Structure 1
Amino acid sequence: MNNPFSLKGKKVLVTGASSGIGRQIAISASAMGAETYITGRNDQRLSEVFDLLEIPGKKYIADLTIEQELNDIVEQLPNLDGVVLSAGIIKALPFKFVNKTDLDAIFQTNFISPSFLVNKLLRAKKLNKKGSVVFISSIAGNYIGSIGNSMYSASKGAMNAIQKVIAIELAPQKIRVNNISPGMIRTALIDDDTFTDEQMKEDEKKYPLGYGEPADVANGAVYLLSDASKWVTGSTLVIDGGFIIR
């Protein structure tokens, strides 16, 4: 029987693939049959991920906030059937302490770089018809506000807005453009000293199904990359363990 979730024969690029959600998406996409291309800033970690790919394409060590490095990657890439934009950073600050340097850095990584990567792929005609673009957003950019998270939420909100417009513009080519908005996922991004273990355990109680794992988001990305979602575009796939129903 035909498996609509299979990625066999597809070429897929995953950004932010050296760690966390991006790492798992790359591994899962490859396991589902995609020839997987990955990019990240950490050579050692990216190489470790590349070695785990069942169908490796190529790895690109690059900082996508640097335009020349972005241009170089687009030039080297083959024509793609899917792109997952997973690179992202976060910095918590009360709004009254927000400064232009931090805001610019977060927007450059979370919004401007992924937007221009899609822009440049389209200009170079390297995104195939019936392809799929998947932005990794957050419930913080769609549904909730949390103290100290204004910069991150704003960058994800901008991503969600531009995604919908791109989806309309690319519909004639049957290219789908969607976003996944996860809740709290257990990655290194939350393993810092900002909150104590007790605070994290208390926060997890807000999630009916508890915190998520990278594989939970990766499975959603596989769906949106696959032909199973061929009639889905401009949508937000919330994967949050039930947080927003509270």
Structure 2
Amino acid sequence: MSNPFTLINKTILITGASSGIGRATAILCAEMGATLFITGRTEAKLNETFTNLSGTGHQKIVLDFEIEDAITRLVAAIDQLDGIVHSAGMLDSTPIKFVNSTKLSKVMKLNFEVPYKITHQLVKERKIAKNGAIVYVSSLAGIGVGIVGNFAYSASKGAISSSIKVMALELALRKIRVNTVCPGMVRTEMLDTHSPVSKEQLAKDEKEHYPLGYGTPEQVANAIVFLLSDASSWITGTNLVIDGGASIH
């Protein structure tokens, strides 16, 4: 029997693969048979991901998207793709009264402009195959769930979650699908190191707002693999909520 969930014979680019959701997605995609092109800005962490990939033929490139020519280098290194996962980005928890133009520009650049420019260049150079799939990692913050201190972050993720609908319409002419995953709170290294609240406050939030508890990178990766696979061939322009029931409230 054929398996529509497999990624065999698919080549997939994953940005931000050195940790968190990006790393979990890379490992799972390789297990599902994909050949990967992974990026990250920390060489040691990217190497750790690379050594955990099943199969052969994978490639890696260390890139810091704050450096001007990073996107050009990335696109030049790629031949043809069947899928893209835009997982690279940054978390920001600055109250609005402290958000200046420099802060807002940095968050918008890394979370929105960089993935847009990567997609733009790959589409322009026709490096995404027919029936390809693009998945952006957005957030509940991107679909209207407000959290104190999330102004810049919400703006960047909201830009993604709205603009993918236009991309989906335009790229449907090439049978390329565009979707997002919108996770709630996920237990990643980023949450542990950049959370503005205490562990006690996080535990209280989890108990009160997440019927199924906080998520794991692997749970989000499962949904991303689904959106990359042919099993989701009739899904495009969708913001897929993965939040352990938080948005039920």
Q: TM-score, normalised by structure 2?
A: 0.97
**Structure 1 segment 31-180 matched on structure 2, within 5 A:** 31-55=31-55, 56-180=57-181
For 2:21 and 2:65, the matched residues in 1 are separated by 17
For 2:180 and 2:110, the matched residues in 1 are separated by 16
Where does residue 196 of structure 1 map in the other structure? 198
For 1:194 and 1:166, the matched residues in 2 are separated by 34
Where does residue 220 of structure 2 map in the other structure? 217
Where does residue 186 of structure 1 map in the other structure? 187
SS at match of 1:12: strand
Aligned-CA RMSD value: 1.0
**Does 54-63 or 119-128 show the bigger shift?**
54-63
For 1:161 and 1:66, the matched residues in 2 are separated by 26
1:229 maps to 2:219: no
1:26 maps to 2:26: yes
**Residues 61-107 of structure 1, C-alpha deviation per residue, up to 9 Å, x if partnerless?**
01123341210110111200000000110121111111111111111
Unpaired segments ≥5 residues, structure 2: none
SS at match of 2:69: helix
For 1:122 and 1:200, the matched residues in 2 are separated by 40
Q: Is the 8 A contact 1:41 1:62 kept in 2?
A: yes
**How big is the shift at 1:165?**
0.6
Q: Is the 8 A contact 1:143 1:244 kept in 2?
A: no
**Residues 164-198 of structure 1, C-alpha deviation per residue, up to 9 Å, x if partnerless?**
11100000111000000000000011113622121
For 1:123 and 1:236, the matched residues in 2 are separated by 24
SS at match of 1:109: helix
- Count residues with an aligned counterpart: 246
Percent sequence identity is: 48
For 1:77 and 1:54, the matched residues in 2 are separated by 20
Runs of 4+ off more than 6 Å: none
